[in-house]
Amino acid sequence: MSAQLIDGKVVAESVYEDVKRRITQLADRGVTPGLAAVLVGEDPASATYVRSKAKMCKKLGLYSDVITLPVDTTHDELVHLVHELNKNPKIHGILVQSPLPPHIDEPAITLEIDPRKDVDGFHPHNVGLMLIGKPGLLPCTPYGIIKMLEYYKLDPAGKEVVVVGRSNIVGKPIAGMLVQKADMANATVTIAHSRTKDLREVTLRGDILIAAIGRAGIIAADMVKQGAIVIDVGINRIDDPNAKKGYRIVGDVDFEACSAVASHITPVPGGVGRMTIAMLMSNTVDAAEQIAS
Ligand code: NAP
């Protein structure tokens, strides 16, 4: 391996230091930032995510409320709960864990969240602010990627960035953030997806290559430009009879092979995933600061 590791644990720690400092400042004003996490149904992965978010809140001294609802909760019942949380002064951040059961209209639920409490940064109000370069709550995973680049002094200005994936939670927002006329942005951005004709030809252009696909190891070494910065967002479970759980988690990037070509690379696990939760905590503190001001 020749690439330098971009260590999500280290960067997340630096975010937590800042978060703790701001929590202390808020405490002096009698404010404890509060995060409500809503879980509908019993999807085990979602339950694990929500638990780890609540655990981190506790560790940092944030107030956390985990609300678990049965899988047959109606759309209107969930809307009612969101409205209650919008009014609750102890809650500064509302997170409705995805995926929701199919009978619930997920984008419609997002619209019901008070944009000031939209710590996922998915509300069109916040998406719009981000796109026009105004302050608002930023989506956690893309925001975490920016923080990683910033920590390792990897300024994207003037660089060719290729984002593979165009989801509303990762691909589109990271592209939108990197194209801004702003610090840690000013990049020339290309978005690729499943209909891209020659993916390799596109990815080879990337001085920074961001993979947000959801296909284990799809980014091979011959798709990476020599010396590129490779950011792997993918979280994929693959069978591994040697692993204790019978599976292991890998990214979208063939880590070993791409490490020989890239200048910097994020691992999976221990990379972008660490940042997502850190930025959720940071956004909750941001929201509390804004609401309390
Ligand atoms: P998604 O909504 O499924 O989007 C995947 C994107 O990849 C789509 O735009 C799709 O293209 C594109 N794609 C699929 N197959 C492709 C192929 N063969 N070639 C080129 N493009 C292809 O996924 P997501 O929510 O963005 O998540 C992506 C991955 O990141 C998943 O593994 C997810 O678990 C992970 N993730 C990690 C974090 C974290 O904290 N680290 C956070 C969020 C997501 P089309 O649009 O044409 O279908």
| Distance from Cα 156 to the centre of ligand 1, integer Å | 22
Phi-psi region of 38 (alpha: psi -120 to 50; beta: other; left: phi over 0): beta
pLDDT in tens, 242-272: 999 999 999 999 999 999 999 999 999 999 9
What pLDDT score was predicted for residue 241?
Answer: 95
User: 160-164 and 188-192 as β-strands: parallel, antiparallel, unpaired?
Assistant: parallel
- Ligand 1, atom 17, lies closest to the CA of 194
Model pLDDT for residues 48-99, shown as the tens digit of each residue: 999 999 999 999 999 999 999 999 999 999 999 999 999 999 999 999 999 9
Contacts for 188 with CB less than 8 Å, ≥ 6 apart = 158, 159, 160, 161, 179
Q: Which residues of 86-123 are buried (b: 16+ CB within 10 A; e: fewer)?
A: beeeebbbbbbbeebbeebeeeebbebbbbbbbbbbbb
Average pLDDT over every residue of 198-203: 98
What's the CA gap between 93 and 137, in Å, rounded? Answer: 10
In the prediction, which pLDDT does 117 show? 98
Residue 1 predicted with pLDDT over 80:
no
**Domains of the chain, earliest start first:** 31-114 (3.40.50.10860), 139-274 (3.40.50.720)
Known active-site residue 53: yes
Q: In the predicted model, what is the mean pLDDT of residues 139-165?
A: 98
Cβ of 214 closer than 6 Å to ligand 1, yes or no, is yes
Region of 158 (left: φ > 0; alpha: ψ -120 to 50; beta: rest) is left
Active-site residue flag, 180? no
**Does the Cβ of 194 fall within 6 Å of ligand 1?**
yes
- Whether 290 sits among the annotated catalytic residues: the reply is no
Q: What is the pLDDT of residue 293?
A: 87
- For residues 151 and 266, the answer to whether their CB atoms sit within 8 Å is no
- The response to whether residue 285 sits with its C-beta less than 6 Å from ligand 1 reads no
With cut-offs at 50, 70 and 90, classify the pLDDT of residue 174. very high
